[in-house]
Amino acid sequence: MPYPSRPTIALVTDCLFCRIVAGDIPATVVRETDTTLAFRDIDPKAAVHVLVVTKEHFVDIASLAQADPELTGDLMETAAVVAETEGLLADGFRLIFNTGAYGGQEVDHVHAHVLGGEPLGPMVCK
Ligand code: AMP
Q: Where are the domains of the chain?
A: 16-116
Q: Is the CB of 103 under 6 A from ligand 1?
A: no
Claim: this prediction has a pTM higher than 0.95 = no
Classified by CATH at the fold level, domain 16-116 comes out as HIT family, subunit A (3.30.428)
Concatenated DSSP letters of 69-87: HHHHHHHHHHHHHHHHHTT
Which residues are bridge partners to 112 per DSSP? 52
Which atom of ligand 1 is closest in space to residue 107's alpha carbon?
4
> Has 111 been annotated as catalytic?
yes
CB of 98 shorter than 6 A to ligand 1: yes
Model confidence pLDDT, tens digit, residues 64-123: 999 999 999 999 999 999 999 999 999 999 999 999 999 999 999 999 999 999 999 999
